[in-house]
């Protein structure tokens, strides 16, 4: 509740109430599915950053029409997947950006400030009883067996 209140205040302050939709979906993941890879801070920040960057680039290159907005969503999803920072709610950022015609600086500020508020409150929330491990520790990258044999032969 506190996280959405902070994000709601940010949306009201900037005059962009449509941003509540993706942040509301993020809250479901962060507070209801905290162990999901989509809920981890790297995915939240990375997903929103990718979506904002793709939105800004597409707005600069294409007309603000429906097909450009949907193309921006597709490109944002592809880049999030490739970068391994998938955060599904961030996929809505291009739709919000294209429908509101917000300045790029505002887009980045609001999206990253909202992500910071949500993740910050989630970290504190999951430290309160009953405690939950959040963020989840990243597993160490395993060395492929063929590489391990090569390394031990040296």
For residue 148, with 0-12 CB atoms within 10 Å meaning exposed, 13-18 middle and 19 or more buried, which class applies? exposed
Residue 149: its pLDDT value, please? 54
The vertex-57 CA angle with 55 and 62, nearest 5°, equals 90
In a domain, 99, yes or no: yes
Residue 9: its pLDDT value, please? 85
How far is it, in rounded angstroms, from Cα 25 to Cα 11?
15
Residue 35: its pLDDT value, please? 95
Structural domain count, the chain:
1
In a domain, 5, yes or no: no
Ordered per-residue pLDDT tens for the chain, 154 residues: 788 888 888 878 877 777 788 999 999 999 999 999 999 999 999 999 999 999 999 999 999 999 999 999 999 999 999 999 999 999 999 999 999 888 999 899 989 999 999 999 999 999 999 999 999 987 766 666 665 555 555 5
In a domain, 120, yes or no: yes
How far is it, in rounded angstroms, from Cα 44 to Cα 34?
12
| CA dist 69 → 32, 41, 48 (Å) | 29, 26, 16
- Find the domain containing 38 and state its range: 22-133
Residue 96: its pLDDT value, please? 92
Residue 147: its pLDDT value, please? 59
**CB of 42 closer than 8 Å to CB of 83:** no
């Amino acid at each position: 509740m506190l996280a959405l209140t902070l994000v709601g205040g940010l949306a009201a302050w900037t005059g962009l109430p449509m941003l509540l939709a993706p942040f509301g979906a993020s809250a479901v993941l962060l507070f209801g599915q905290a162990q999901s890879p989509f809920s981890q801070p790297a995915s939240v920040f990375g997903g929103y950053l990718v979506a904002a960057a793709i939105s800004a680039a597409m707005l600069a290159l294409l007309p603000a029409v429906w097909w450009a907005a949907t193309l921006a969503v597709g490109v944002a999803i592809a880049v999030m997947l490739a970068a391994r920072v998938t955060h599904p709610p961030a996929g809505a950022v291009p739709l919000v950006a294209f429908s509101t015609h917000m300045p790029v600086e505002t887009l980045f500020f609001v999206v990253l400030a909202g992500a910071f508020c949500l993740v910050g409150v989630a970290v504190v929330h999951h430290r309160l009883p009953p405690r939950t491990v959040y963020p989840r520790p990243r597993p160490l990258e395993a060395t492929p067996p063929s590489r391990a044999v090569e390394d031990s032969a040296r």
